Amino acid sequence: MGIDDTTDHTIVSQIPSLEEGQENKHPYILFQQGPLLGKMVLLDPGSIVLGRSDEADIAIHDEGISRKHLKLTYRNGRTVAKDLKSTNGTYVNGHRIKESELQHEDKIQISSSTLIKYIYADKLDESTQQELYNMGHQDPLTNAYNKRHFLDRLKGEFSFATRKNTPLSLVMMDIDHFKKVNDTYGHPAGDFVLMQLANLAHSIIREEDLFARYGGEEFVLVLKGTDAPGAKILADRLRQLVDEHDFNFDGQKIPVTLSLGVATLDSAKHADHDALIKAADDCLYQSKEGGRNRVTCI
Catalytically active residues are: 217
CA distance 40 to 180: 42
Torsion angle of C-alpha atoms 75, 76, 78, 83, degrees rounded to 10: -20
Find the length of the chain: 298
Question: What angle in degrees, to the nearest 10, is found between the helix axes of 178-185 and 187-204?
Answer: 130
CA distance 94 to 101: 15
Ramachandran region of residue 83, left (φ > 0), alpha (ψ -120 to 50) or beta?
beta
The values of phi and psi at residue 241, to 5°, are -60, -45
